[in-house]
């Protein structure tokens, strides 16, 4: 959660800068070139933030996977008969984790395609709107992924 606050603040600042640069772009060809350069820089920063978010998500998923593997190992060598329901819960958690990994990879590819589309947009106002929409989408996806990962980690902690 600590990571989201600076990102949110920077996204707000980024949005304000884009709004002012888009208005500028309509008045002067030099400003248009400058605006496009600034927007390209912001797109690159957005790409970098998304890559960092993807790495953080992958790290969380790997930690969850290690916890799950550890619990599976413990379930394979049970002290009593309670291993069957526990094994089923572990199997269900593994399916959820695999689904989350798949969805994150799919979202990463979709966002990469959206970024490529935004980079080709010539109209600065539309480009700004598309960047803003992608930022919001990335924020929402990141929060949803964090919630799902934390929920899986809590489920695994209950099984310990």
**Residue 43 to residue 74: CA distance in whole angstroms:** 46
The pLDDT value recorded for residue 23 is 59
**Residue 88 to residue 107: CA distance in whole angstroms:** 29
The pLDDT value recorded for residue 1 is 45
Give pTM, 2 decimals.
0.58
Range with lowest mean pLDDT among 3-12, 43-52, 98-107? 3-12
- The tokens describing 19, both together, are 């709004």
- The tokens describing 112, both together, are 């990469």
């Amino acid at each position: 959660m600590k990571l989201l606050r600076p990102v949110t603040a920077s996204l707000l600042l980024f949005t304000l800068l884009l709004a002012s640069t888009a208005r500028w772009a309509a008045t002067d060809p030099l400003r248009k070139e400058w605006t496009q350069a600034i927007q390209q820089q912001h797109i690159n920063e957005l790409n970098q933030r998304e890559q960092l978010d993807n790495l953080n998500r992958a790290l969380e998923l790997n930690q969850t996977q290690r916890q799950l593997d550890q619990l599976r190992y413990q379930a394979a060598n049970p002290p009593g008969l309670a291993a069957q329901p526990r094994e089923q819960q572990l199997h269900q958690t593994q399916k959820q984790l695999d689904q989350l990994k798949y969805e994150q990879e799919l979202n990463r590819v979709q966002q990469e395609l959206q970024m490529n589309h935004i980079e080709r947009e010539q109209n600065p106002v539309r480009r700004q709107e598309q960047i803003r929409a992608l930022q919001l989408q990335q924020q929402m996806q990141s929060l949803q992924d964090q919630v799902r990962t934390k929920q899986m980690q809590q489920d695994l902690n209950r099984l310990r």
